[in-house]
Amino acid sequence: MTATIKQAYQQIFNDEPVLFFSPGRINIIGEHTDYNGGFVLPAAIDKGIYLAVNKRTDTTIELYAASFNESYSCTTQTVAKANKQWPNYILGVVNELQQAGYEIGGFNLVMDGDLPIGAGLSSSAAVECATIFALNDLFALNISKQKMVQLAQKAEHNFAGVLCGIMDQFASMFGKKGHAIKLDCRSLAYEYVPLQLHDAKIVLLNTSVKHTLASTAYNTRRNECAQGVQWIQEKYPAVNLLRDATIEMLDVCVKEKDSTVDNRCRFVVQEIDRLLQGCEDLKQGRLAALGKKMFATHDGLSHSYEVSCKELDFLVDAVRDNPNVIGARMMGGGFGGCTINLVKENAIEALIAWLSNSYQQATGLKLETYIVQTGDGTRRL
């Protein structure tokens, strides 16, 4: 990948690039908790987005996406939302830097990657983090990693239109090989937890259903959680996020008002608790207990939070009673993408063969599978 992207850059721009990489991410447990101020437990993987970039002497921004064979150009004075999505993840970052008062000049950029797009592995966050890391390096902006993560998240809000939490960008930037990151999404305090899975491995099963998070559903969930908080605040003014809420508060303030909002909030409160216990399970090597919680998370996401789809449910139900599958659940925003499975190593091959067949028969779709290797966060190569 590094050789081909370098060559592409040399051919297009007749110049030498600097190379950067930012990984995709998985999340062990703790879904839809980040924008509620809760905890998440993601890890960076060894697949991601590669950029070949360098400064220009003028103010032109020239972009080329190798996987789409498409170009886009503008200048630093004309940065605006593009009518196709991929340039927006890059231009969104430029826009946030400019809004925050950072000076950047023109640049050339070639983007490529080995991360499946729309599979719930945060390819968009990887592009944003790679871009901000590259621009910070090339233009010597001296921005901290934490600030870069926050600006990358804002780029997603303002240019991609998804009001995402901080998990994806944080995991991409701060990833560490062999570890998950227990992140407190309110304070941004974090802890690396060794991902010790003994005789198990993490297997991703990609439904091949492309999730369009931007298509309102994700933002609707955010609003439903905010509505719940507002009702709780009438009685408990100190509660600012669902992180601070309890089941009792929901019983008193939300349940009677709206059952949908109540279901959403209840899931989040339970999920934050499940994550805290699941993280202890991981630390203590209690994988069976962690696995059970992953199934419980899936059921909550499917029935209460309602962000699953029939293909994701099919894949989780198919492995639910399989003694070689320790845990499984849908992962990420939902409505498609992957399930994450904890599978005993010696059973992986047979499981994939059997599932690929039954999934195709049931849905007509091709099942893509990946055995996850964790990796380090955003970096210059």
Q: Of 332, 299, 297, 296, whose CA–CA distance to 313 is shortest?
A: 299
Instruction: Burial-class residue 250 by CB neighbours within 10 Å (0-12, 13-18, 19+).
Output: buried
Positions in 280-319 near ligand GLA (CB under 6 A): none
State phi, psi for 265 to the nearest 5 degrees: -65, -40
Active-site residue, 199 included = no
Q: Is 164 in the site for ligand GLA (CB under 6 A)?
A: yes
Which residues are registered as beta bridge partners of 330?
Answer: 339
Task: Closer to ligand GLA by CB, 75 or 223: give it.
Answer: 223
Q: Which of 13, 21, 35, 89 binds ligand GLA (CB under 6 A)?
A: 35
Q: Could you tell me which stretch among 143-151, 163-171, 196-204, 291-299 binds ligand GLA (CB under 6 A)?
A: 163-171
Shortest distance (Å) from residue 164 CB to ligand GLA: 3
Interface with ligand GLA, residue 89, by CB under 6 A: no
Q: Which amino acid is at 315?
A: L
Q: Which one is catalytic: 34, 168, 244, 262? A: 168
Asked if residue 327 binds ligand GLA (CB under 6 A), the reply is no
- Name the minimum Å distance from CB 359 to ligand GLA: 23
Q: Which residues of 220-248 are buried (b: 16+ CB within 10 A; e: fewer)?
A: ebbebbebbbebbbeeeeebebbbbbeee
Strands 60-65 and 107-113: parallel
By beta-carbon proximity to ligand GLA, the closer residue of 13 and 86 is 86
CB of 41 closer than 8 Å to CB of 27: yes
Q: Using alpha carbons, select from 146, 186, 190, 191 the residue that is nearest to residue 165.
A: 186
Instruction: Please identify, using beta-carbon distances, which residue of 31 and 281 lies nearer to ligand GLA.
Output: 31
CB of 114 to ligand GLA, least distance (A): 19
| Residue 174 identity | F
Choose which of 32, 274, 293, 298 interacts with ligand GLA (CB under 6 A): 32
Pick the piece of the chain touching ligand GLA (CB under 6 A) from 16-24, 141-149, 160-168, 280-288: 160-168
- For the chain, state the CA radius of gyration: 21
**In terms of CB distance, is 262 or 271 closer to ligand GLA?**
271
**Exposed, middle or buried, 123 (CB in 10 Å: 0-12/13-18/19+)?**
buried
- Least Å distance between CB 218 and ligand GLA? 7
Binding residue (CB under 6 A) for ligand GLA from 17, 38, 116, 333:
333
Q: How many CB atoms lie within 10 A of CB 176?
A: 17
Cα diameter, the chain: 66
Of the two residues 74 and 245, which places its CB atom closer to ligand GLA in the complex?
Answer: 245
141 burial type by CB count under 10 A (0-12 exposed, 13-18 middle, 19+ buried): middle
Name which position in 96, 128, 168, 244 contacts ligand GLA (CB under 6 A).
168
Nearer to ligand GLA, 87 or 332 (CB): 332
CA–CA gap between residue 104 and residue 84 (Å, rounded) = 23
Structure tokens at 199: 């005789």
Work out how close the CB of 377 gets to ligand GLA at its nearest, in angstroms, rounded to a whole number: 16
Q: Residue 202: beta bridge partners? A: 342
Q: Which lies closer to ligand GLA via its Cβ, residue 39 or residue 107?
A: 39
Among 24, 31, 95, 319, binds ligand GLA (CB under 6 A): 31
Taking the complex as a whole, the smallest distance from the CB of residue 34 to ligand GLA amounts, in Å, to: 5
- Compute the least distance from the CB of residue 165 to ligand GLA, in Å: 3
Stretch that binds ligand GLA, among 29-37, 238-246, 341-349, 352-360 (CB under 6 A): 29-37
CA–CA gap between residue 197 and residue 348 (Å, rounded) = 14
Where are any strands of DSSP class E within 189-321? 190-194, 200-206
- Give the residues lining the site for ligand GLA (CB under 6 A): 31-32, 34-35, 164-165, 167-168, 332-333
Catalytic residues: 168
